[in-house]
Amino acid sequence: MSVAQAGAAELRLEQGASLWTDAFDRFRHNLGAIVGVALILVFVIIAIFAPVIAPFDPNEQVGPLATNPAGPGNGHLFGLDEQGADLFSQIVYGARLSLLVGLVSVGVGLTLGLVLGSVAGYLGGWVDSFIMRVMDVMLPIPSFLLATGLVTILGRGLTQIMIAVGITNVPIFARLLRGTILGQREADYVLAARSVGVPGPRLLMAHILPNSIAPVIVQATLAMATAIIDVAGLSFIGLGPSDPGLPEWGKILSENASRLEQSVHLVFFPGFAIVLSVLGLNLIGDGLRESIDPKLRA
Amino acid sequence: MSLLSVRDLEVKFVTRRATVHAVSGISFDLDAGETLGIVGESGCGKSVSSLAMLGILPKPAGRVTGGEVIFEDQDLLKLPDWQLRSIRGQDVAMIFQDPMTSLNPVLTIGRQLTESLRKHLDMDRKDAEEEAIRLLFRVGIPSATDRLGDYPHQFSGGMRQRVMIAMAISCKPKILIADEPTTALDVTIQAQILEVLKQLVAEENMALILITHDLGVVAGVCGRTIVMYAGRFVEAASTKELFARPRHPYTLGLLKSVPRLDAARKDKLEPIDGVPRDLTKLFEGCAFAPRCAYATEESRERRPELVETDAPGHFVACWNPVPDADLPRIETIPVPTAREAAG
């Protein structure tokens, strides 16, 4: 029987529920996760279409200079700041900055962490010991303190700040990945793959990493939330981006903290934006964790 | 000239606390198309020897400390890793014990099957997929075409072991090493898998090394059987001869501890008393001596080597082999075929 020919004609490699399809299914039915996705989606849309959504240039003076600027109303949704600029426009443009900061700093941390963690976990031996001892030294330093120190060294440009916050994430990613790789390295399917002659690098990339990456993805979402808070925090203590034109949420917050009693809107809106974006990311992270974690699988 | 020739293979596991002498000098020859069973209890070094032959011992603890493994005029133990990689899978393939964990959970069966086809036989994707379908069909997976895109968790244990077998035979290896291929499966599935193995080995003229602790399994499949204890071979003979006239007291003990369908009610299973040797300690004499009813003064002092008995091709390492009088009666020897074992 020519099974081969008959088979090739109706090859359907796409079908079949993979672990990821399964995980996605769980994720879809998680209310918190959906709310998180919705929140972040709103922020993403705002960030992309900022010039369309924002009624004014965030740095343009559109109202009177005032010590106690006017609150919402009068054509200004979130009110004005002391320079007479439109607060809503600032928050809208700030979304760009926050998402960028979240993505880039997590990207930096993730890349370095992935490389270090997989090298350590896969090679083992003294390489592992060396890398992990360095990570161990970094880990107990509170991430915010570490970021503060790094910004002081690297400088206060936006790029430097993102790199600094990213670096604080490196040990977390590296340790997480190394741990899962150690567990996977001795797995039977790895031995089976070796027994059919799969070479080392491919073993790591095609077999071990895909089986170890799930907890790292979860951690990445959560780290993005922390990164946004960290950058806002850095801005708040005066170590934010030195460029005065950047409408950073944390910066708006810190500049106006002293005016809390007179003009609540100047503190409330940027703070609320930070809370919402961080909440959204955390909800996604938790949802991912619940849908990917093998312990919660049937 | 035999296909594979193992000489004095020695494997040790070195850790900071102790050194385990896992395999202490084993030698055997394997001819093309031969089916060889290696039997022994857990920890006697059966699996470790096969991993050592393929150069995939767990690192860094496991190391080969002596001997040679000659395959096609080259010593596998001396080959660099890249050369050994092309032999693994292509010339010598292996099936592992637990099909539930031996397949990569995040790759489709198709991806895993085509991996070695594309690497070793240089097939393009389409050819490899067609070949994969043909392979799945051969190991008896129904609607193989539809299952190529499936993930391991969508298969049952028996089906997964079939997939493992398909992977192992994909490049038509000359030697197939099956390490406890049926241990994790229930008895009916066991019989089916053994039947598939037997058929394939016969059709492809592959040599098979079947590693197991189950005498029933070798009885149905293997032409020749080697009994291993504490890292050494203690007895080797054709399977029929071994079951009929076990000369080593350990082999006799193993046979007696197999439950029998035709046993009378009052008959009790006879376990082998004692525990296996602690392989972290060196010792003199026969490894089995402390558990052996036939042990003599000499057994405790000098180690017996494998020597041929009066039956040609029957080797035993024992100073005081089991006498004829103590052999189980011939008609009660359990030699079920795989089909009978299935009931």
For A220-288, the three-class secondary structure string (H helix, E strand, C coil) is HHHHHHHHHHHHHHHHHCCCCCCCCCCCCHHHHHHHHHHHCCCCCHHHHHHHHHHHHHHHHHHHHHHHH
Structure tokens at B239: 């399977």
Q: What is the ipTM of this complex?
A: 0.72
Which residues in chain B have their CB less than 8 angstroms from residue A186's CB?
58
**A residues 141..200 contacting B (CB < 8 A):** 186-189, 191-199
Tens digit of pLDDT for each residue in B202-241?
888 899 999 998 888 898 889 999 999 999 999 999 999 9
Q: Do B88 and A197 touch (CB under 8 A)?
A: yes
Task: Answer yes or no: do A197 and B134 touch at CB < 8 A.
Answer: no
Torsional class of B292: left (φ above 0), alpha (ψ -120 to 50), beta (otherwise): beta
Interchain pair B144, A15: CB under 8 A: no
- The residue of chain A with its CA nearest to that of B89 is A196
Specify the pLDDT at position A9: 37
pLDDT tens for B21-75 read 999 999 999 998 899 999 988 888 888 999 999 888 887 788 899 899 999 889 9
Would you kindly state where each structural domain of chain B is located, as residue ranges? 32-56+82-91+179-343, 99-172
Length of chain B: 343
Per-residue pLDDT tens for B269-323? 778 888 888 888 888 889 998 888 888 888 888 899 999 988 889 999 999 998 8
Q: Which of B76, B104, B117 to mutate to test the interface with A (most CBs of A within 10 A)?
A: B104
Give the tokens for residue A254.
Answer: 């810190």
> Does A237 contact chain B (CB < 8 Å)?
no
Bigger pLDDT: A157 vs B267: A157
**A197/B90 touch (CB, cutoff 8 Å), yes or no:** yes
> In chain A, what residues touch B90 (CB-CB under 8 Å)?
197
- Cβ of B146 within 8 Å of Cβ of A15? The answer is yes
DSSP string, A142-199: -HHHHHHHHHHHH-SSHHHHHHHHHHHHHHHHHHHHHHHHHHHHT-HHHHHHHHTT--
Nearest C-alpha in A relative to B116: A196
Q: What pLDDT, on a 0 to 100 scale, did the predictor assign at position B337?
A: 52
Q: pLDDT class for A207, splitting at 50, 70, 90?
A: confident
Q: How close does chain A come to B89, measured CA to CA in Å? A: 4
Written as six digits, the tokens of B231 are 């890292």
A261 CB near a chain B CB, below 8 Å?
no
% of chain B with per-residue pLDDT over 90: 28
Which of A10, A14, A184, A195 is the best residue to mutate to test the B interface, defined by the most B CB atoms within 10 Å of its own CB?
A195
- HSE-up of residue A62 (Cα within 13 Å, Cβ side): 20
C-alpha neighbours within 13 Å on the C-beta side of residue B221: 35
Domain-by-domain residue ranges, chain A? 39-63+74-296
pLDDT band at B133 (very low <50, low <70, confident <90, very high): very high
Pick from B88, B77, B261: which is nearest to B168 by CA? B88
**Whether A8 and B85 lie within 8 Å, measured CB to CB:** no
Whole-prediction pTM value? 0.74
What pLDDT band is residue A14 in, cutting at 50, 70 and 90?
A: very low
pLDDT at B329 over 50: yes
A3 touches chain B (CB under 8 A): yes
Predicted confidence band of residue B4 (pLDDT cuts 50, 70, 90)? very high
Calculate the alpha carbon distances from B194 to A84, B49, B141, B183, B220 in Å.
84, 22, 15, 11, 8
- With CA atoms as reference, report the closest residue to B225 among B206, B248, B193: B248
- pLDDT tens, position by position, A251-289: 888 888 787 777 888 888 988 999 999 999 999 988 888
User: Which phi and psi (to 5°) does residue B74 adopt?
Assistant: -125, 145
Put simply, the answer to whether B148 touches A17 (Cβ < 8 Å) is no
Question: Percentage of residues in chain A with pLDDT exceeding 90?
Answer: 26
User: Domain B32-56+82-91+179-343 is in which class?
Assistant: alpha beta
In CATH terms, the fold of domain A39-63+74-296 is MetI-like fold (1.10.3720)
B85, A195: Cβ pair inside 8 Å? no
Strand B175-179: give its sheet, edge to edge: B92-95, B175-179, B207-212, B35-39, B224-229, B232-238, B315-316, B307-308
pLDDT at A254: 80
Chain B contact present for A201, CB below 8 A? no
Contact list, B126 vs chain A (CB under 8 Å): 8
Asked if A232 and A249 count as a contact pair (C-beta separation under 8 A), the reply is: yes
Residue A177: pLDDT above 50?
A: yes
